[in-house]
Amino acid sequence: MFAAILTACVLVASCTVDASYIEDRRNCRTEGCVTQYGCVPRYAQYNTAVHCPQRCVIERCRSIENVPQRRICQQITSVATGQLLAAQDNYDRRTNQRYATLVSPNSGERDRWSMTVGPGNNYYIQNSDTGEYLRASDNNFLYLVAGRPTDESYLFKPDLVQGSWSCVLLQSVCYRSFVYSEGSRNSFALMARDLDRCYRESLWSISSVNC
């Protein structure tokens, strides 16, 4: 009799555990949005693009023990030339500031960036190797500046063409000019307000990579 009661209790407990486990597993999946940071929660306090053109599923119950956290960076690629925005050792002799330049893929020339949301859902763009921030200038050049951003010249507004990060216009918040690639013969990233003469050169693809 005692053995039968004990067996019944074990079965009930087992069923209770299984039911709660199943319920927990149902709560493990949540809908997210694909951004340059990967798949992030749609309704969390996470500053990303306003639109969600592509949805994804987030698994919240996977074990993360002994799994190294990978830091995610962005590569900013010219659609027109295939070159990457980078921080080469090219300096303005007058100001001793580093120019923002363009390099060939796989050149290893400090071509990875961190994009951090600032005021107005605009972005600060920081080189992950040098720690310098991209800054627009009134001479239509882009510089890399050490230290914390101090004004709107460090802010850039991404305009997603057809809602995709694979085709983006980057506009300076301060000067209202668009970043464009000068071309394969030159290696500078410049700015222009007139998109009619350099629209294709002003398109960028922003992709996520491991730092």
Average pLDDT over residues 19-32: 56
Average pLDDT over every residue of 184-207:
89
Say if residues 165 and 36 touch (Cβ distance below 8 Å): yes
In the block, residue with structure tokens 């698994």:
59
Q: Answer whether residue 121 shows pLDDT above 60.
A: yes
For the cut 80, the answer to whether the pLDDT of residue 135 exceeds it is yes
Q: Domain residues of the chain, as ranges? A: 74-210
Say whether domain 74-210 belongs to CATH 2.80.10.50: yes
What are the backbone dihedrals phi and psi of residue 141, each rounded to the nearest 5 degrees, phi first?
-95, 160
Give pLDDT, residue 50.
52
CA distance from start to end of the chain: 65
pLDDT at 68: 59
Question: Is 86 in contact with 105 (CB distance < 8 Å)?
Answer: no
pLDDT tens digits along 163-179: 899 999 999 999 999 99
Is the pLDDT score of 127 beyond 90? yes
Query: In the predicted model, is pLDDT for residue 24 greater than 70?
Result: no
Average pLDDT over residues 98-127: 91
Q: How high is the pLDDT of residue 23?
A: 40
Q: How confident is the model at residue 53 (pLDDT cuts 50, 70, 90)?
A: low
User: Residue 11: is its pLDDT beyond 50?
Assistant: no
Q: What is the pLDDT of residue 12?
A: 40
Q: What per-residue string of b and e applies to 12-38 under the rule 16 or more CB within 10 Å gives b?
A: eeeeeeeeeeeeeeeeeeeebbbbbee
What pLDDT is stored for residue 170 in this prediction?
A: 97
Is residue 123 within 8 A of residue 117, CB to CB? The reply is yes
pLDDT score recorded for residue 160: 95
Task: Specify the pTM.
Answer: 0.68
Residue 76 has pLDDT above 90, yes or no: yes
What's the mean per-residue pLDDT of the chain? 80
